[in-house]
Amino acid sequence: MKIWLNGKIVPEEEAKVSVFDHGLLYGDGVFEGIRSYNGRVFKLKEHLERLYRSAKAIMLEIPLSLNELEGAIIKTLRANNLKDAYIRVVVTRGDGDLGLDPAKCPSPTIFIITSKIQLYPNPKELYEKGLSLVTVATRRNDIEALNPAIKSLNYLNNILAKIEATNSGALEAIMLNRDGYLVECTGDNIFIAKEEILCTPPLSIGILEGITRNVVIGLAQSFKIQVKEPLLTRYDLYNSEEVFLTGTAAEIIPVTKIDGRTIADGKVGSLTKRLMAGFKRLVNSQGKKYAL
C-alpha cells in the first residue's frame, strides 16, 4: 500500500509520524472518511469542505488549498490502483513539545490512506435483515464542550460507546445527549420513519452533519417524502415503523431491533428499501471521475 504523507507518496512501511505529533499526544487534529465507487469519488467537495470547516473550528490552518488536497487524493488512489476505495484524510496539529499548546506546533501533518472498503462481516444478511442495536449510557459530547459537528481525531467518546455496544453483542451504539434526546451512532447518523414521514435529529442538538445524511434527505425530498428534524426520544425509536443508519462506510443500513424491542414487524421497511436503491443509483452515477 502507498500512502500520501506531507506531499510525498511513500510505501506503507515508510509512512511514519513522530511520537511528538499532537494528533497522537492529544487527538489534536481533524479527519474525513470518503468513498470512491468505480473510479468516481462520491461527494468529494462536500467531504473536503467539512474537513476545512472542522479545521477552522479548532484553529488549524491546512497548508494546502482544497483543490490541492483533492489532487493529492486522486494521486493516492492512482498510486494504489483503486477504483473502489475507502479514503481517509487526516490533518494533525503536527509535531510540538509535550505541552498542550498548539502554538508550539509549526506545521500540520497531513496524510491520506486509501484502501479497500471494510464492510461488516456477513454484509448481505445485515442489509437484508437489519441490525440489532442498543442505546448506551455514554452520552454524546456536549455541544458546548466539544461540538460533535467537528470531525476531530478525538473519538474517545464514541469509542466508549462502541465498547458498550460490543459488550452487549451489538455492532453499533445509539447515543443520546445529556438531556436524553437521540443524537447519532458512533460512526453513523440515524433516521426513523413513521406514517410516511422521515425524521432525523436536528443539527442543533450536537451531531456530525453527515454527508450521507444530507444525501438521504435530498433523495427523500426528490421522492416527495416529507422530512422532519424534531427532538426524538427512545420512545420514538421503539415505536417507529422503520429505522436506519447512514454513513460513508455503511451507506444506508436498516435497523430492525433496538434494546430488545422489535421495530414494527421486524422486517426492513419499504421506505428504507426505496432509499437504499436510490442511494445505489446516485453513487454509481455521480462523483469526481478519475482515471487509473
Beta strands of 93-237 (E only): which ranges? 109-115, 131-135, 173-176, 182-185, 189-194, 197-199, 226-228
Contact between 102 and ligand PXG by CB under 6 A: the answer reads no
Piece in contact with ligand PXG (CB under 6 A), picked from 129-137, 207-215, 257-265, 281-289: 207-215
> Applying CB under 6 A, does 247 fall inside the site for ligand PXG?
yes
Contact between 246 and ligand PXG (CB under 6 A)? yes
| 187, 201, 269, 287: residue in contact with ligand PXG (rule CB under 6 A) | 187
By beta-carbon proximity to ligand PXG, the closer residue of 130 and 210 is 210
Q: Which amino acid is at 197?
A: I
Residue whose CB is less far from ligand PXG, 33 or 278: 33
- Residue from 80, 138, 141, 248 in contact with ligand PXG (CB under 6 A): 248
Q: Which is nearer to ligand PXG, 33 or 63 (CB)?
A: 33
Enter the C-alpha cell of residue 289.
471521475
Q: Which stretch binds ligand PXG (CB under 6 A): 58-66, 206-214, 219-227, 231-239?
A: 206-214
Give the span between the Cα atoms of 78 and 114, in whole angstroms: 10
Q: Is 59 exposed, middle or buried (0-12, 13-18, 19+ CB in 10 A)?
A: exposed
152 binds ligand PXG per the rule CB under 6 A: no
Catalytic residue (choose from 8, 45, 116, 151): 151
| Of 239, 156, 250, residue with least CA distance to 194 | 239
**224 is an active site residue:** no
Minimum distance from residue 188 beta carbon to ligand PXG (Å): 5
What's the farthest any 2 CA atoms get from each other in the chain? 57
Q: Which is nearer to ligand PXG, 21 or 188 (by Cβ)?
A: 188
- Per-residue x/- track, 3-22, ligand PXG (CB under 6 A): --------------------
131-135 vs 251-258, strand pairing mode: parallel
- Whose cell is 455503511? That residue is 250
H and E: helices and strands count for the chain: 8, 16
Among 95, 164, 184, 242, binds ligand PXG (CB under 6 A): 184
Cα 24 to Cα 31: distance, rounded to the nearest angstrom: 13
CA distance 292 to 289: 10
Binding site for ligand PXG (CB under 6 A): 33, 158, 184, 187-189, 208, 210-213, 246-249
Catalytic residues: 151
